[in-house]
Structure formats: C-alpha cells, structure tokens
Amino acid sequence: MARSIQSIRLLGMFIFLGFGLLHGSESPSFFIEHINIENLKHVSERIVRAELQLDTGQEYDEEQLRQALYRVERLQFIRETEFSLEKGSRRGAYVLKIHVTETRRLFWLLLTDSLLVRNNYRLSDEPGTSKYLANLDGQAFGYRWFSRKTEWRVFLPGGFAMTHYDLFGTGMVVDAGLGIPPSFNSRDFDFGTLPFTEDGSQFEIAASDSTLIAFSSLTYPISQEQSLNLGMYSGNIGISELQSRGTEEKRKLEDTEFQFNFATLNWTHNTTDHPYFPLTGRFIQAGLQWEWNQLAFDEATQDLVGGYDTWTWSRNSVVASYKEFWQLNSRDSFGLDFDVRYAGVHVSGKPEELALETEDYVSARGGIELSLSRNLMNRRFLYGSRDFRVTLSAGYRRYDTDLDEEKFTPDPNYGMYHAGVGLTMRDSWGAFRITVRYEQSNRGLWP
C-alpha cells in the first residue's frame, strides 16, 4: 500500500514537472500599459503608432513586438528602431519604449539595375552583331514633410505624391501621386511579344518630356503579416524616338503617344525586415492584373509600323511571386526569388497584313533567381550608413506564347539566363542600389 502511494506521488511529481516544462517553453507575454515613442523629429507619431498595430491594455510576446518594429522599419522614412520594456505602475504591467531613427527630410532613392550588359542584341540579321546598353532609371530626389497621419512628397524633375496611414481608423493605407518619372523605356512596361510590323519584328520606344503618370493604391491589413492591395496606374507618354528591332533605323517622332492603364489586386504575406533590401523574412504575393494600352502614330511613322495610326491591346494576367531571405550570420544573407505570370492578350485595331493572325493569344512567364549578399562594413560609414553591401545574383527566366513561331522574328518563345553583381547602401539620406547585369538569351533580345 505504501509503495502504491509512493508511486502515485512520483507520477504526480512527473506530471507537475512536465506541465512546468511545457509552460516554461512558451514565450513570455507582456501586458503593455503605455507605449512611448522617442526621438521623433519630423515624422508624425500617429503614423508610427498606426504601423505598430499594437494597443495598450493588451498582452504581446517578444516575437509580436519585433514584428511590430519590422513594420515600422519598412517605412521609407524610418531608418531603424529599437525597443525596451520598463516596469509599469502595477505588478505585471510594462511600458513599451520605442526609439526611432529617421532618415532626412531631403532624400534620394535609387533602385535600378543601372548598368545592363546584354549579349547578342541583334539590330540586324548579320551574325555576331551585338550592342552593349547602359541605362540609369528608377532614381528620385525629393523632399518630404508630415501632417498628422499623412506623408507628403515632391520629386525632381517634377512630381507630387502623398501617403495617408490608418484611414478612418481601419489601418488602411492610401497612396496617390502625379508626376513626370525621371526616365522611361518601353522595357519598364514589359510589353512582351507584340507584333508591330508585317514580319512580326518589334521596336523600341523612348519617351519625351511630355511623359505624365498618375497612380493610386489602397492597402488593407488583414493581420500583422497579411494585406490586400488594390492599385491603379495610368499615363500618357509622348514618344520622341522609335527604332525597329529589325533595322538600325531610328525615327524622331511628333504627335505620337502611348497611353496605358493598369490595375492590380494582390494578396501579400510579408515578414521581411526592409521594403527594398530585405536580409531576412518571407514575401509571398498572388494577384490579378488588368492592362489596356494604345499606341497612336503620326503619318510619317505609319509605314514603319505596318501602315496603321492606332494599335490597341489589353492583357489579363494571373501573377504570383515567392521570395525568401535567410540571415546566415551577422554579415551574410542568402535569397531565393521565384515569380510566374499567365496572361491572356487581346489585340484590336490591327491591320490584316500583320503577322498576328488572331486577336487573342496566351503568354506565360516564369523565373527564378538566387542571390548572396555580404555587408562590407560593420561600422557606420558615409553620413551614418549602417549597411554597405555587395550582392551576387544569378537566375533564369522563360517566356512562352501559343503564337506560331515560324511567323515571328525573333522567336517569341525563349529563355534568358542572367548574372549580376550589385552594390547597396542605406544611410540617413535614403537608399541606393546599382547593379551590373549580364543577360544571354537564345534569341538575343530582351522581352
């Protein structure tokens, strides 16, 4: 009997220890009594509180607090954040103190594959003909200021934009803007396979100063990591130069315009630590896209583009992307980037003699990229920079359609390999990235 009682006691003790170990393995929670935000000079405190998505009088574990700070650091005008917990006015309560470091109000932003080396860009059918291209685009220089929950921005060479946070207290974010982009190239709009001439060849366009683009978007947070985004973009671009990809002939154009309208609906899951240069975390996005585009040519150009004055096409797409970043150690990070798009294209207003025999066709695109980056500096560098990084990347991208390959020059179905090396710097002025890329395709032509 005594032995049975002793066995029961031992069993009870093991159960008690088991529950204690199980409970001890859980992350501790902190009851947040107050939230104090420190070191704000220009940024509105309401914006920071809205992006934290934390409420006083609630309990949060350490991971939830860190995720809240990641969301704040993803703001373009916040460079870094730190938090600490202090004892509150009663037992078990804490005061959350958040120290914020802002970027400068006068800022610059450069996000581009700036120097692009493409092998075998065939301007003619002669074997061995190649051309090396370099372009610098995606840059912006401007000034920002804040009022309550709104950030206002002006850009050079000309533009205005605003971002409003926590619309109607729902956590929604609204963006809107109007302006002239620093540069424009038809590659920026990913035209895909467009048979502009009788033999199915394509051409390249460059914009004039009359380029004007408007955009707006609405983002609704589903949870701390997930959101829905509705975006709309439109533009009226004056085309100053056109070059057929089958010849070396260039035309200066007048009264020639490219109009585009673009809408997108995306679901996003984002746990990355930075909007432009993430080093850790996961980014998943899936959505729908709709496009409507029209090119209108002057009489002097119609013979070069098939003898028509307007050409219209629309594209409905399903898109998805997956990005994963791993912090290998204090200096190195590894990244995986995968994306796909499946689209139906409708063409209208085309002449009968064009190579495209049907008004509808399907196009698909998919790609994968691997990257490895290393921070070259473990100390502050140049205007207080805390990150100066070199990145090596390599990948493959495939483009396919259901068009007849024999009727197009070059082939609309092709693959492209690419490799690059880039430099990235973040400092109190903003963000900078410059990348040298090498691309090789089986037809020698960018999409």
Domains of the chain, each with CATH number or no CATH: 2-102 (3.10.20.310), 106-441 (2.40.160)
pLDDT in tens, 43-78: 888 888 888 888 888 888 888 888 788 778 778 788
What pLDDT was estimated at residue 367?
92
Q: CA 325 to CA 435: how far, in whole Å? A: 19
Give dist(CA 307, CA 70) in Å, integer.
55
Q: Whose CA is closest to 78, among 146, 162, 179, 178?
A: 146
Whole-number pLDDT of residue 194: 43
Q: What is the pLDDT of residue 255?
A: 56
- Residues lower than pLDDT 70 in the chain: 1-27, 108-140, 157, 180-211, 237-258, 275-276, 296-311, 349-359, 377-386, 404-412, 426-431, 441-447
- Compute the distance between CA of residue 355 and CA of residue 351 in angstroms, rounded to an integer: 9
pLDDT of residue 252: 56
Gap between the Cα atoms of 106 and 108, Å rounded: 7
What is residue 101's predicted lDDT score, i.e. its pLDDT? 83
Residue type, 327: Q
For residue 324, the model assigns a pLDDT of 94
